[in-house]
Amino acid sequence: MTQLRTAINTRDKAKLAILCSFPFYCRPCIEDTTLKVNNYVTIKVSKGLFNDSQYKLFFDKPFKAKVNSDEFKASLFQPALDEKHKPWGFSFPYTIVAPTKNWEGLQGFVYLEKIEGQYKITSIDTVP
């Protein structure tokens, strides 16, 4: 948690890349206007694509606000389950678009898995 917070607050793309497991799938990444073709439901983010543009998602206000909030601690993290309902890592939610009285808003979920002794971001999804 501390490494992620430090990488976000110092806008350190290299440190942030170390905390990711490439490639990873990312649903909110489709909002990237620099993509030449963007007709996907999700994007497979390679290290090259991350370095070109996808790192910006982590520096956006909603993500940065969650990482810097008082609630960003171990109790926020929920077990993530595989297709057989076995635990394989953790996830934490963040608000991308706040709810209104006419719409439930948009939540992001960041999934982390322990890889070679360190938790790394393995995917980012949204609900709804």
Query: How many structural domains comprise the chain?
Result: 1
Query: Is the confidence at residue 47, as pLDDT, over 90?
Result: yes
Query: Is the confidence at residue 50, as pLDDT, over 90?
Result: yes
Lookup: tokens for 86: 């076995």
Phi first, then psi, for residue 39 (nearest 5°) are: -125, 35
Model-level pTM? Answer: 0.84
The CATH number given to whatever domain includes residue 60 is: 3.10.450
First to last CA, the chain: 26
Contacts of 110 (CB under 8 A, 6+ apart): 91, 92, 93, 94, 121, 123, 124
pLDDT band at 18 (very low <50, low <70, confident <90, very high): very high
Instruction: Give me the domain span that covers residue 83.
Output: 2-127
Q: What pLDDT is attached to residue 46?
A: 94
SS3 state of residue 28: helix
How far, in Å, CA of 89 to CA of 45, rounded? Answer: 19
